[in-house]
Structure 1
Amino acid sequence: MEEESEKNPETDVAPALISVHPTHKFVSVAIGSDLRVFNLQESCVVTLTDVSGGHKDSIRAIRYSANGQLFVSAGDDKLVKIWATDSWRCIYSVVSEKRVSAVGISNDGMFVCFADKFGVVYVVDIEDHDVEDRVPVNKKAVPILSHYCSIITRLEFSLDGRFIITADRDFKIRVTVFPKNPVNGAHEIQSFCLGHTEFVSCLAFVGCQDYPRGLLVSGSGDSTVRLWDHTSGSLLDTYNCGAQAELLHSNGKEEEILHAVTDLCTTPDGSLVAVAIQSLPGVMLLRCNLSTRTLSFAKVISIAGETFIPTSIGAASSAPVLWMVMGASILHISDSVSLARVRAISGFTTSTSESFDHETSVLEDEEIPGGESLLQTLQGKLSVGKEAFSTAAEAVKTAMRNLLIKKQYSVERREFRKRGRNDMKIKK
């Protein structure tokens, strides 16, 4: 019996990511090691300044701070870069011991947290980021909590800033009290949100003025979106997106193929949740009723005329536009190193109006804010055919499955693997 390779090239395929400035001033796309930013207010390309040369490997997480003054990028090069959005200069550079899988910024903008693929969460204290030195300041990260040897897939702060929420590939969501001085560690666990049957892929919060504490929504490889009271860990509602989108089918070997929920995005009033699902050419919209604490189906917005399966979605709190990107890095299917396609949906706002079904629509390229200039900036050169993007979608799906779905081994197989572990070998 041959031992399987520890490093599968398929798992190195990184999905394209998108993040939107809270006031809709910037839209950022990460594809491979390339970070692209467009200024929507001035309709121009943003030039990034980083004397250290930027990222050297695939970016796995990007995030704007709540006030929009900071932007964080991190990934497989074990670097966490913190940017000041007024100048788009890298002001802090943090070296991680392992590859970074998730990032978050505290609501007050004082701390940046990131997680690695060994399940450790680190914090960086952002003291005064208005530094004049053009060379990025090297900051030291401090570990504050850990998931036991499980890849952390997403990291979020609660709406009131009291908790830091971490999700992993072992189906669990941990809610931890975020202390005033987190560099001393975050030791108090508030709750666990347990119920998913596959890896948790994404987290988001829904809330409004009447519900300032908000509720947590999560997406998973089990093809469901779940609604939680995160303070108690109570599961409030479950919605099976795969069944609604008619994506469930049998492959003849397994009972069921589940298409993972890959990303979530919510409206500012918490009434709508946009859901990106593997194999769904578009997005699904769910209504969230905060008073009854329930999720219900609103509609599926299909992208006609092309194969467009979003790998990441995002929206600003001040504009009713849902941004989507489809793409993957490190694909040897064309002369282009990284493939990306950006689309947008208008009317991503409250779902209470009677004319809701007519308010949301997919924008044509010429209708997208920023127009052709934005698309050229964020997509790069689109000289590849539709089949390349179909291949990209399948590659991302395979990579996510290989990375996050835990392999099941027989007793004999487990014993064989144990004998090959480095920590079991006797040094002579």
Structure 2
Amino acid sequence: MDSETKKDIEVAPALIAVHPDQCSVAVAVGHHLRVFDLLAGSAVSLTDDSDASPFHTDNIRAIRFGAKGKLFVSAGDDKTVKVWSTQSWRCITSVSSEKRVSAVAISDDGTYVCFADKFGLVWIVDLDPPLRDKKPAPLLSHYCSIITSLEFSPHGRFILSADRDFKIRVTCFPKNPLNGAHQIQSFCLGHTEFVSCLAFVQAQECPQGLLLSGSGDATVRLWNVDSGALLDTCEVATKAGLLESDDKAEEHDHAVTDLCTVLDGLLVAVAIQSLQGIILLSCNVSAKTLSVAKVVSIAGEAFVPTCLASPSAGKLWMVTGVSTLPGCNYPALARVKVISGIDDEQEPVVMGDDGIPGGEKLLETLQGTASVDDNAFLAAAEAVKTAMGQLLIKKQYPSENRESRKKCRNDRKLKG
């Protein structure tokens, strides 16, 4: 592997998370974590007094707020999981991981933080005092497969884990999770490429929730988690006109990178690698179906969303960007946009910079002050696409090379 290819693999997409009560917005790009207080109208100063390295020292791969908004978690390639209090924005505990972290989740009651690594293990940390020197305990495992997403089901009955090998595992969350989770409820099987993202639809007709998943196969699928049954499949890239109905040659160019629910799941916002905008899906909970409601294009700018967040009805937050861009003088690119009017009665509108909550101060905090041209963001989108392909699309080796590769595996060397 040459140095340039290795650099491509290490590229990380920009991430965004919004407080459930819209108190603050966080953006992670590279090792930078930037937070803006929407109530105070100013940037947040983070405080990290942990004995470990202050703040993050490598690409951040996962950020999220807890369901009640009291906690915020960040983690990534520096093998560190940091838990922050959103009242003081002080790091209340810093946990070391054996491998690079790829996904995080917070239990609904804020008692536990779970994180997954690139070796396929899910770990759990309890947040009971004392918080210093916390050691993670193993919770469950996907055998040697990168875990791409973690989610708790409504009411915390299940924890769901998705991986590079097309699987979604539904595991019963135990009463004593520090002893491990050993009861599997179901597997949701049907995707033909890596599963990139998970989200839940909650409705009165379905208290336990229905699961949404996005994938490198350019589809969004709807599942019953109790049984693992596939309820519906929406070929979003085809419906948006990015792919012909019989075109499978370029599926990896149209991977679903993120999705989130809007209006309590009645609408689903979907980001696709090659789309400058988002797709809105309508979710009929009673009929258990998905259909394309609208394609919202972002005109005038090279904006391919890398992450979405929607804490309340009517607004969708988006970010595009990348940790590093080989060959460019723009470290840690990020651009934030908001779509308003996302409901059944209004026409979605991409808000101008002056209309975004927090205005120019928010943009300066989350994007940085450097002005970046559109070509850089187009290059960033391509860099993210390449990195995702290198990381998540399984390499196929000729049969004559497989035996020689097996002999060089580290576990075989140790046994020898």
Per the normalisation by structure 1, the TM-score is 0.92
In structure 1, which of residues 345, 348, 360 is the aligned counterpart of residue 342 of structure 2? 348
Note the 1:28-427 alignment, pairs <5 A.
Answer: 28-51=26-49, 52-128=53-129, 137-248=132-243, 255-258=249-252, 259-317=254-312, 319-349=313-343, 351=344, 355-356=345-346, 358=347, 360-425=348-413
Equivalent residues of 1:22, 1:66 under 8 A apart: yes
Alignment of 1:13 onto 2:4: no
**SS of 1:42 mapped into structure 2:** coil
Shift of residue 193 of structure 1?
Answer: 0.2
Aligned residues: 411
**Equivalent-residue separation in structure 2 for 1:426 and 1:47 (angstroms):** 46
Letter paired with 1:340: A
Equivalent residues of 1:60, 1:102 under 8 A apart: yes
Residue 25 of structure 2 aligns with which residue? 27
Equivalent residues of 2:255, 2:273 under 8 A apart: yes
**Equivalent-residue separation in structure 2 for 1:257 and 1:78 (angstroms):** 31
**SS of 1:122 mapped into structure 2:** strand
In the TM superposition, structure 1's runs of 4+ consecutive aligned residues that sit over 6 Å from their partners are 3-7
Shift of residue 139 of structure 1?
Answer: 1.1
Between 1:411-420 and 1:274-283, the stretch displaced more is 411-420
Structure 1: runs of 5 or more not aligned: none
Relative to structure 1, the CA distance from residue 333 to residue 256 in structure 2 (aligned partners, 3 Å threshold; closer, same or farther) is closer
Relative to structure 1, the CA distance from residue 92 to residue 418 in structure 2 (aligned partners, 3 Å threshold; closer, same or farther) is same
Letter paired with 1:219: G
**SS of 1:347 mapped into structure 2:** strand
**Equivalent-residue separation in structure 1 for 2:364 and 2:15 (angstroms):** 16
Letter paired with 1:309: V
Q: CA RMSD in A?
A: 2.0
Task: Report Cα offsets for 1:380-418 as digits up to 9, x if no partner.
Answer: 023221111100000000000110000111111212322
Equivalent residues of 2:324, 2:330 under 8 A apart: no
**Equivalent-residue separation in structure 2 for 1:66 and 1:209 (angstroms):** 19
The percent identity for this pair of structures is 63
Relative to structure 1, the CA distance from residue 180 to residue 348 in structure 2 (aligned partners, 3 Å threshold; closer, same or farther) is farther
**Equivalent-residue separation in structure 2 for 1:163 and 1:368 (angstroms):** 36
**Equivalent-residue separation in structure 1 for 2:42 and 2:413 (angstroms):** 57
Letter paired with 2:265: G
